[in-house]
Amino acid sequence: MDRYTISNGLISATIKQAGAELCSLKAAQDHELIWQAGAAWPRHAPTLFPIVGRLKNDVLHVRGKTYPMKQHGFARDLDFAWTQTLPHACTLSLHDGAETRAQYPFAFALDVTFTVDDRHLSIVYEVTNRGDEVMPASIGGHPAFNWPLVPGADKASHTLVFSAPETAPIRRVTDGLVRPQVYPTPVEGRTLALSESLFVEDAVIFERLASRSLRYASPDHAGLEFSWRGFCDLGVWSKAGGAPFVCLEPWYGFASPADFDGEFADKPGLMHLAPGEKRSFSHRISVG
Protein backbone atom coordinates (compact mmCIF):
# COMPACT_ATOMS: atom_id res chain seq x y z
CA MET A 1 0.00 0.00 0.00
CA ASP A 2 1.23 3.48 -0.77
CA ARG A 3 -0.40 5.23 2.21
CA TYR A 4 -2.02 4.42 5.53
CA THR A 5 -4.35 6.32 7.86
CA ILE A 6 -4.20 6.12 11.65
CA SER A 7 -7.03 7.46 13.79
CA ASN A 8 -8.43 7.46 17.32
CA GLY A 9 -11.75 9.16 16.63
CA LEU A 10 -10.44 12.56 17.71
CA ILE A 11 -7.74 13.07 15.09
CA SER A 12 -6.56 11.20 12.00
CA ALA A 13 -3.27 11.22 10.13
CA THR A 14 -2.34 9.78 6.75
CA ILE A 15 1.22 8.73 5.97
CA LYS A 16 2.76 7.94 2.58
CA GLN A 17 5.14 5.05 2.00
CA ALA A 18 7.19 7.33 -0.25
CA GLY A 19 9.52 9.21 2.07
CA ALA A 20 7.59 8.21 5.23
CA GLU A 21 5.76 11.48 4.66
CA LEU A 22 2.83 12.80 6.65
CA CYS A 23 0.30 13.99 4.06
CA SER A 24 -2.83 14.70 6.12
CA LEU A 25 -3.72 15.69 9.67
CA LYS A 26 -7.28 16.47 10.72
CA ALA A 27 -9.22 16.81 13.92
CA ALA A 28 -12.79 15.55 13.80
CA GLN A 29 -14.93 17.89 11.67
CA ASP A 30 -12.07 20.35 11.29
CA HIS A 31 -10.09 21.71 8.36
CA GLU A 32 -7.06 19.96 6.93
CA LEU A 33 -3.91 21.24 8.66
CA ILE A 34 -1.25 19.88 6.30
CA TRP A 35 -0.38 21.62 3.02
CA GLN A 36 -1.68 19.47 0.18
CA ALA A 37 1.37 19.62 -2.08
CA GLY A 38 0.04 22.19 -4.53
CA ALA A 39 1.79 24.02 -7.32
CA ALA A 40 3.75 26.30 -4.96
CA TRP A 41 5.64 23.31 -3.48
CA PRO A 42 5.10 19.63 -4.36
CA ARG A 43 5.66 18.13 -0.88
CA HIS A 44 3.79 17.84 2.42
CA ALA A 45 6.23 16.99 5.22
CA PRO A 46 9.41 15.32 3.94
CA THR A 47 11.81 13.35 6.14
CA LEU A 48 15.31 14.86 5.97
CA PHE A 49 18.20 12.35 6.13
CA PRO A 50 21.20 11.95 6.09
CA ILE A 51 21.64 15.70 5.67
CA VAL A 52 19.58 18.78 6.44
CA GLY A 53 19.84 21.58 3.91
CA ARG A 54 22.48 21.63 1.18
CA LEU A 55 26.11 20.67 0.88
CA LYS A 56 28.35 22.93 -1.13
CA ASN A 57 28.13 21.94 -4.81
CA ASP A 58 25.74 19.15 -3.70
CA VAL A 59 28.73 16.90 -3.04
CA LEU A 60 29.57 14.80 0.01
CA HIS A 61 33.27 14.09 0.72
CA VAL A 62 34.24 10.90 2.58
CA ARG A 63 37.86 9.70 2.84
CA GLY A 64 38.98 11.24 -0.43
CA LYS A 65 35.93 10.14 -2.43
CA THR A 66 33.03 12.30 -3.57
CA TYR A 67 29.36 11.36 -3.65
CA PRO A 68 26.40 13.27 -5.14
CA MET A 69 23.96 14.38 -2.44
CA LYS A 70 20.90 16.50 -3.14
CA GLN A 71 19.45 19.04 -0.74
CA HIS A 72 17.93 17.44 2.39
CA GLY A 73 19.25 13.99 1.46
CA PHE A 74 17.67 10.96 -0.17
CA ALA A 75 15.20 9.64 2.42
CA ARG A 76 12.40 11.93 1.23
CA ASP A 77 12.57 10.39 -2.27
CA LEU A 78 12.75 6.67 -1.36
CA ASP A 79 10.06 4.14 -0.50
CA PHE A 80 10.15 2.98 3.11
CA ALA A 81 8.96 -0.46 4.23
CA TRP A 82 5.89 -0.77 6.45
CA THR A 83 7.02 -2.59 9.60
CA GLN A 84 3.96 -1.88 11.78
CA THR A 85 0.39 -0.89 10.94
CA LEU A 86 -2.02 -0.56 13.86
CA PRO A 87 -5.26 1.46 14.06
CA HIS A 88 -3.54 4.21 16.06
CA ALA A 89 0.12 3.86 15.00
CA CYS A 90 2.44 2.84 12.17
CA THR A 91 6.17 2.46 11.62
CA LEU A 92 8.13 2.73 8.39
CA SER A 93 11.77 1.71 7.91
CA LEU A 94 14.57 2.50 5.50
CA HIS A 95 17.89 0.61 5.40
CA ASP A 96 21.02 1.26 3.39
CA GLY A 97 21.38 -0.45 0.04
CA ALA A 98 23.09 0.00 -3.31
CA GLU A 99 21.10 3.16 -4.09
CA THR A 100 21.92 4.88 -0.80
CA ARG A 101 25.55 3.77 -0.74
CA ALA A 102 26.12 5.46 -4.10
CA GLN A 103 25.39 8.71 -2.24
CA TYR A 104 26.30 7.96 1.39
CA PRO A 105 28.79 5.15 2.13
CA PHE A 106 27.46 4.18 5.56
CA ALA A 107 25.28 1.36 6.88
CA PHE A 108 22.20 2.70 8.63
CA ALA A 109 18.61 2.08 9.62
CA LEU A 110 16.02 4.85 9.82
CA ASP A 111 12.72 4.02 11.51
CA VAL A 112 9.87 6.56 11.64
CA THR A 113 6.89 5.91 13.92
CA PHE A 114 3.62 7.87 13.84
CA THR A 115 1.21 7.60 16.80
CA VAL A 116 -2.08 9.33 17.58
CA ASP A 117 -2.99 9.77 21.24
CA ASP A 118 -5.89 11.95 22.39
CA ARG A 119 -5.48 15.08 20.21
CA HIS A 120 -1.75 14.59 19.64
CA LEU A 121 0.25 13.17 16.73
CA SER A 122 3.74 12.06 17.74
CA ILE A 123 6.47 11.35 15.19
CA VAL A 124 9.59 9.51 16.38
CA TYR A 125 12.72 9.13 14.25
CA GLU A 126 15.24 6.43 15.22
CA VAL A 127 18.63 6.49 13.50
CA THR A 128 20.88 3.44 13.92
CA ASN A 129 24.48 2.98 12.81
CA ARG A 130 24.57 -0.58 11.41
CA GLY A 131 28.19 -0.33 10.36
CA ASP A 132 31.59 -0.79 12.02
CA GLU A 133 32.74 2.84 11.79
CA VAL A 134 31.53 6.15 13.19
CA MET A 135 28.60 7.45 11.11
CA PRO A 136 28.13 11.22 10.67
CA ALA A 137 24.57 12.29 9.87
CA SER A 138 21.76 14.79 10.34
CA ILE A 139 18.02 14.21 10.72
CA GLY A 140 15.07 16.56 10.43
CA GLY A 141 11.36 16.99 9.95
CA HIS A 142 9.79 19.41 7.47
CA PRO A 143 6.00 19.54 8.02
CA ALA A 144 4.16 22.19 6.02
CA PHE A 145 1.01 23.60 7.61
CA ASN A 146 -1.69 25.50 5.78
CA TRP A 147 -1.29 29.26 6.07
CA PRO A 148 -3.90 30.56 6.68
CA LEU A 149 -5.16 27.82 8.96
CA VAL A 150 -8.76 28.55 7.91
CA PRO A 151 -9.50 29.18 4.22
CA GLY A 152 -9.99 32.87 3.57
CA ALA A 153 -8.55 34.04 6.89
CA ASP A 154 -5.99 36.85 7.08
CA LYS A 155 -2.48 35.43 6.76
CA ALA A 156 -1.02 38.43 8.59
CA SER A 157 -2.97 37.56 11.73
CA HIS A 158 -1.03 34.30 12.26
CA THR A 159 1.73 34.03 14.84
CA LEU A 160 4.19 31.59 16.33
CA VAL A 161 4.33 31.95 20.10
CA PHE A 162 7.38 30.23 21.61
CA SER A 163 7.39 28.69 25.07
CA ALA A 164 10.31 30.92 26.12
CA PRO A 165 11.71 34.29 24.99
CA GLU A 166 13.92 33.86 21.91
CA THR A 167 16.62 36.53 22.00
CA ALA A 168 19.53 34.77 20.25
CA PRO A 169 20.52 35.82 16.72
CA ILE A 170 19.23 33.85 13.74
CA ARG A 171 20.92 32.49 10.64
CA ARG A 172 19.98 32.91 7.00
CA VAL A 173 20.94 31.05 3.82
CA THR A 174 21.92 32.04 0.30
CA ASP A 175 21.52 29.39 -2.41
CA GLY A 176 20.81 26.93 0.38
CA LEU A 177 24.10 27.51 2.23
CA VAL A 178 24.43 29.22 5.62
CA ARG A 179 25.77 32.76 5.53
CA PRO A 180 28.68 33.56 7.86
CA GLN A 181 26.93 36.48 9.55
CA VAL A 182 24.13 36.37 12.11
CA TYR A 183 21.01 38.54 12.23
CA PRO A 184 18.81 39.97 15.00
CA THR A 185 15.94 37.70 15.91
CA PRO A 186 12.55 38.65 14.42
CA VAL A 187 10.89 37.26 17.57
CA GLU A 188 9.53 39.95 19.88
CA GLY A 189 9.62 38.46 23.36
CA ARG A 190 8.01 35.10 22.64
CA THR A 191 6.00 36.05 19.53
CA LEU A 192 6.97 35.80 15.88
CA ALA A 193 4.45 37.57 13.66
CA LEU A 194 4.21 35.67 10.38
CA SER A 195 4.37 37.71 7.20
CA GLU A 196 5.24 36.98 3.61
CA SER A 197 8.13 39.45 3.82
CA LEU A 198 9.75 37.31 6.53
CA PHE A 199 10.68 34.72 3.88
CA VAL A 200 11.99 36.95 1.11
CA GLU A 201 15.49 35.84 2.19
CA ASP A 202 14.52 32.18 2.54
CA ALA A 203 14.29 30.31 5.86
CA VAL A 204 14.65 31.72 9.35
CA ILE A 205 17.07 29.43 11.22
CA PHE A 206 17.13 29.24 15.01
CA GLU A 207 20.23 27.37 16.21
CA ARG A 208 20.24 28.20 19.92
CA LEU A 209 16.61 27.86 20.91
CA ALA A 210 15.52 28.39 24.48
CA SER A 211 12.10 26.89 23.67
CA ARG A 212 11.09 23.29 23.17
CA SER A 213 7.61 24.12 21.89
CA LEU A 214 5.58 26.79 20.16
CA ARG A 215 1.97 27.51 19.27
CA TYR A 216 0.93 28.28 15.69
CA ALA A 217 -2.45 30.04 15.71
CA SER A 218 -4.59 32.95 14.57
CA PRO A 219 -7.64 34.76 15.95
CA ASP A 220 -9.75 32.60 13.59
CA HIS A 221 -8.39 29.22 14.68
CA ALA A 222 -7.15 27.73 17.95
CA GLY A 223 -4.24 26.38 15.95
CA LEU A 224 -1.79 23.76 17.09
CA GLU A 225 1.05 23.27 19.52
CA PHE A 226 4.30 22.01 18.04
CA SER A 227 6.95 20.54 20.33
CA TRP A 228 10.22 18.67 19.78
CA ARG A 229 12.76 16.55 21.66
CA GLY A 230 16.33 15.65 20.68
CA PHE A 231 16.46 18.22 17.90
CA CYS A 232 18.62 21.29 18.59
CA ASP A 233 17.75 23.58 15.67
CA LEU A 234 14.55 24.89 14.10
CA GLY A 235 13.86 26.22 10.64
CA VAL A 236 10.78 28.27 9.79
CA TRP A 237 10.18 28.55 6.06
CA SER A 238 7.69 29.45 3.40
CA LYS A 239 8.37 29.82 -0.28
CA ALA A 240 8.97 33.45 -1.19
CA GLY A 241 6.22 35.17 -3.10
CA GLY A 242 3.22 34.37 -0.95
CA ALA A 243 2.89 30.58 -0.76
CA PRO A 244 -0.10 29.32 1.29
CA PHE A 245 1.91 27.24 3.77
CA VAL A 246 4.48 27.62 6.53
CA CYS A 247 6.97 24.91 7.49
CA LEU A 248 8.04 24.25 11.09
CA GLU A 249 11.22 22.21 10.80
CA PRO A 250 12.94 20.59 13.79
CA TRP A 251 16.52 19.70 12.86
CA TYR A 252 19.63 18.06 14.19
CA GLY A 253 22.05 19.83 11.90
CA PHE A 254 21.71 22.43 9.16
CA ALA A 255 23.06 23.33 5.74
CA SER A 256 26.78 23.69 5.14
CA PRO A 257 28.37 27.06 5.82
CA ALA A 258 28.93 28.87 2.54
CA ASP A 259 32.72 28.47 2.85
CA PHE A 260 32.76 24.79 3.92
CA ASP A 261 33.66 22.13 1.36
CA GLY A 262 35.64 19.66 3.48
CA GLU A 263 35.33 16.14 4.83
CA PHE A 264 31.70 15.42 5.63
CA ALA A 265 32.55 14.25 9.17
CA ASP A 266 33.95 17.73 9.88
CA LYS A 267 30.80 19.57 8.79
CA PRO A 268 29.33 21.69 11.62
CA GLY A 269 26.12 20.49 13.25
CA LEU A 270 26.33 16.74 12.63
CA MET A 271 25.76 13.91 15.07
CA HIS A 272 28.38 11.14 15.12
CA LEU A 273 27.00 7.68 15.91
CA ALA A 274 29.34 4.96 17.16
CA PRO A 275 29.00 1.48 15.63
CA GLY A 276 25.73 -0.02 16.83
CA GLU A 277 24.52 3.24 18.38
CA LYS A 278 20.88 4.33 18.05
CA ARG A 279 19.51 7.82 18.64
CA SER A 280 15.89 8.95 18.87
CA PHE A 281 14.34 12.28 17.97
CA SER A 282 10.70 13.29 18.10
CA HIS A 283 8.21 16.02 17.51
CA ARG A 284 4.56 16.26 18.44
CA ILE A 285 1.64 18.15 16.92
CA SER A 286 -1.20 18.87 19.35
CA VAL A 287 -4.40 19.98 17.66
CA GLY A 288 -6.89 22.44 19.13
Q: What is the pLDDT of residues 8-66, one digit of tens each?
A: 999 999 999 999 999 999 997 778 999 999 999 999 999 999 999 999 999 999 999 99
Angle at alpha carbon of residue 272, lines to 266 and 278, rounded to 5°? 165
pLDDT confidence tier of residue 115, bands split at 50, 70 and 90: very high
Q: Which residues of 86-120 are buried (b: 16+ CB within 10 A; e: fewer)?
A: eeebbbbbbebeeebeeebbbbbebbbbbbbeebb
- What's the CATH code of the domain at 276? 2.70.98.10
What domain range includes position 76? 3-287
- pLDDT for 29 equals 74
How many Cβ atoms from other residues are within 10 Å of residue 72's Cβ? 24
DSSP 188-236: BTTEEE--GGGGTTS-EEESS-S-SEEEEEETTEEEEEEEEES--EEEE
Distance CA 127, CA 285 (A): 21
- For 71-88, the pLDDT digits (tens) are 999 999 999 999 999 999
- For 186-225, the pLDDT digits (tens) are 999 999 999 999 999 999 999 989 999 999 999 988 899 9
Angle at alpha carbon of residue 117, lines to 114 and 271, rounded to 5°? 40
Closest to 3 measured CA to CA, from 13, 132, 244: 13
Instruction: State if pTM tops 0.85.
Output: yes
Percentage of the chain beyond pLDDT 70 is 100
Closest to 57 measured CA to CA, from 260, 210, 254: 260
Distance CA 61, CA 256 (A): 12
Rg (CA), the chain: 18
Burial grade of 246 (CB within 10 A; 0-12, 13-18, 19 or more): buried
Of 138-142, 165-169, 173-177, 207-211, the least confident = 207-211
Q: Tell me the average pLDDT across 142-171.
A: 96
Burial grade of 34 (CB within 10 A; 0-12, 13-18, 19 or more): buried
| Total number of domains constituting the chain | 1
DSSP 121-169: EEEEEEEEE-SSS-EEE-EE---EEESSSSTT--GGG-EEEESS---S-
Distance of CA 120 to the CA centre of its chain: 17
